[in-house]
Amino acid sequence: MRHIFWAGDSTVACNKFNTYPQTGIAQAFDRYTKEDVVIVNHAVNGRSTKSFIDESRLSAIYNDITEGDYLFIQFGHNDEKIKDPTRYTDPHGEFIVNLGKFVNVARNKKAYPVFITSVERRLFDEEGKLKPSEHTEYVKGMKEAGEKFNVPVVDLFTMSRSFLEKCGDEESRKYYMNLKEGEAKWAPEGLTDNSHLKYEGAMLYAGMIAKGLVDLGDHYESLIADKVILDGSMNIETNG
């Protein structure tokens, strides 16, 4: 069996019934993988690269990851928390240094690291245009880290932002936890927002990551059960 270890935050983490209908991207990703691929999800709500490492969560991955496995590294949302010294990292400084620590864990165990940029938030202005992103510098930082450490980058940020721009304010609601009246009764208090995803959103963005792995080719593509195609309207299809 091949294992994908996933390090990240609440946009990736697994959810139980008490946070329904919130769904993390890694929670949906096994719908796209081959039968011999197992997802080992270490993502936890609210974590940044700094707090994930400080809480010894990266050490736990080191203990279990083995040769031929994969480490998917997806952070940014909480590294941006400038008022929280336990989580904040400079996007072109400590953020890159920390990403290097994740890479070292993978490579010391002869596993394959993959960087995945943050999924975009669903934030539109009064004219229905997608607002400038708070993720931009962290996306740049992750790409810098990709070049520095020779790690492939799946740019989910760009794919998700492009999708939101084309989808628009109202239509994009069905993918995020910004629920309409009547749906909100299912959402736990504090989880009706524009960052976390419903099942539909998790499936959508997991498909984009799968497509990104196919684009990388080689052994990355071999993880995916079907080649994922994103057509001009950003609909996901599979081509066996």
187-201 pLDDT per residue, tens:
555 556 899 999 999
Q: How many domains does the chain have?
A: 1
Query: Could you tell me the CATH number of the domain that includes residue 111?
Result: 3.40.50.1110
219 is catalytic: no
And the tokens for 218?
A: 């080689």
Query: Tens digit of pLDDT for each residue in 141-157?
Result: 999 999 999 999 999 99
Enclosing domain of residue 26? 2-239
* Strands 70-74 and 2-8, bridge-based pairing: parallel
Q: In this structure, are residues 60 and 102 in contact, taking their beta carbons and an 8 Å threshold?
A: no
Find the catalytic residue in 3, 42, 135, 196. Answer: 196
> How does DSSP assign 42-94, residue by residue?
---TT--HHHHHHTTHHHHHHHH--TT-EEEEE--TTTT-TT-TTT---TTTH
Amino acid residing at 164: L
pLDDT of amino acid 229: 52
- Band the pLDDT of 114: cuts 50, 70, 90: very high
Q: Which residue in this structure is represented by tokens 């081959």?
A: 34
Residue 124: DSSP 8-state:
B
Find the catalytic residue in 10, 51, 160, 172. Answer: 10
172 is catalytic: no
196 is catalytic: yes
Find the catalytic residue in 35, 127, 147, 189. Answer: 189
